[in-house]
Structure 1
């Protein structure tokens, strides 16, 4: 699953993504774990002209406090094949979708086919910013503060990703540039499900430091993405 990612900063977004007001004001993130519930750059279909910060880990409406949100079920990823049935997602996937802007993501690999013991960084061969499909909920905490929270959709892995994420064989939903509007504006379950498919293009990847097991060390540094 996609629990670790790398995202562009405000300057990179302003340069690469034309026609959008970049309200996200953070620098580039070289590695972040979803388990820290970070704010990352997204476009939501409620306002497709903006790139704003949204918090990773979708919090459903029935969760009432930040403490409960931290303890709530893992909603960092949403399995695309089940998204219309799962309680956390079935009331939002129909009309609350968006795009997460990333430079790449980190995936585990098992050299023995059973136990994850390596990490790979996955990105576009062009090294351009690309987008992952998300669903979101505008959540209100106990202090009546509202903010967007999101899950990254996942699909079955394509052949390339199945070789990397060889336990589980999943990958995030990569939304190609030509399909972004279709994802944001899809109308009805059938149109949405037709877009939840494994990526058909080419990806680049290389082995990196095993970021998924690092504890107590700052991993948001440029060389965390270096090949080893």
Structure 2
């Protein structure tokens, strides 16, 4: 999964990295703690030259209410072609999610055994976890593959824009920290294709691969007083 990430770079750096056109007085604040429910910048296929600010937790356009009923801040790559929240977005509403790194929590709880040496599957001891910051070795700014949607309030006409970060199986670097999932990081040369709505569904799905582990790095964060977990 991907539940926290960092996009702490100045606006000018993002503009240069993604070849964006800045608006006068554009309101942008960097954050080391991008979390689900926050309003964050993305780059959409319909407006690839500008940042668009959306809420991180996808609200499907077909939802009857504005309530976020499902855990749609992540979208599993394997489910995109059939899951109702995402299947229509795969070929119509894709986005880049700028980031400088993401966080994962590693379970470091000591194994407990009973008097016979058998592992206790449901120990009473509270789990211990260590936070890791994971980023790329040579790319200070990169992008996650994302999907976005628009929900229109039937009463007021208000438009709510939201997005989801796509995840895949963990690669060899992430697996020892978080065994199951990792966000899909797009290689720089693949970003333009991800925003190209002319691609077939098969071509789009082919872009959704775990990032090369040898190009990534991780480090444990021992003390993060400013990071609420």
Question: Which TM class, normalised by the smaller chain length?
Answer: 0.7 to 0.9
Could you list the structure 1 runs, at least 4 aligned residues long, displaced by more than 6 angstroms after superposition.
none
TM-score, structure 1 as length reference = 0.82
Unaligned runs of 5+ in 2: 112-120, 122-126
CA distance in 2, matches of 1:175, 1:181: 10
Once the two structures are TM-superposed, the CA of residue 12 in structure 1 deviates from its matched residue by 3.0
Unaligned runs of 5+ in 1: 212-216
1:1-228 mapped onto 2 (5 Å cutoff): 1-7=1-7, 8-14=9-15, 16-17=16-17, 19-22=19-22, 25-34=27-36, 37-66=37-66, 68-69=67-68, 72-112=69-109, 117-126=129-138, 128-141=140-153, 143-166=156-179, 169-185=180-196, 187-200=199-212, 202-208=215-221, 219=227
Once the two structures are TM-superposed, the CA of residue 18 in structure 1 deviates from its matched residue by 5.1
Once the two structures are TM-superposed, the CA of residue 55 in structure 1 deviates from its matched residue by 1.4
Deviation string, structure 1 residues 47-70 (Cα, Å, up to 9, x no partner): 11112212111101232444x13x
CA distance in 2, matches of 1:219, 1:11: 25
Q: Per the alignment, do residues 117 and 26 of structure 1 end up closer, same or farther by CA in structure 2, a change over 3 Å counting?
A: same
Say which structure is richer in strand: 1
Once the two structures are TM-superposed, the CA of residue 97 in structure 1 deviates from its matched residue by 0.4
SS at match of 2:195: helix
SS at match of 2:51: strand
Q: Per the alignment, do residues 118 and 46 of structure 1 end up closer, same or farther by CA in structure 2, a change over 3 Å counting?
A: same
Deviation string, structure 1 residues 16-56 (Cα, Å, up to 9, x no partner): 4253124562221011321xx11111110011111221211
Once the two structures are TM-superposed, the CA of residue 77 in structure 1 deviates from its matched residue by 0.3
Match of 1:214 in 2: none
| Contact 1:9–1:25 (8 Å) recurs in 2 | no
CA distance in 1, matches of 2:138, 2:148: 29
CA distance in 1, matches of 2:148, 2:189: 22
CA distance in 1, matches of 2:222, 2:35: 14
Number of matched residues?
Answer: 208
TM-score, structure 2 as length reference = 0.81
CA distance in 2, matches of 1:188, 1:102: 26
CA distance in 2, matches of 1:58, 1:210: 31
| Contact 2:34–2:40 (8 Å) recurs in 1 | no
Once the two structures are TM-superposed, the CA of residue 126 in structure 1 deviates from its matched residue by 3.1
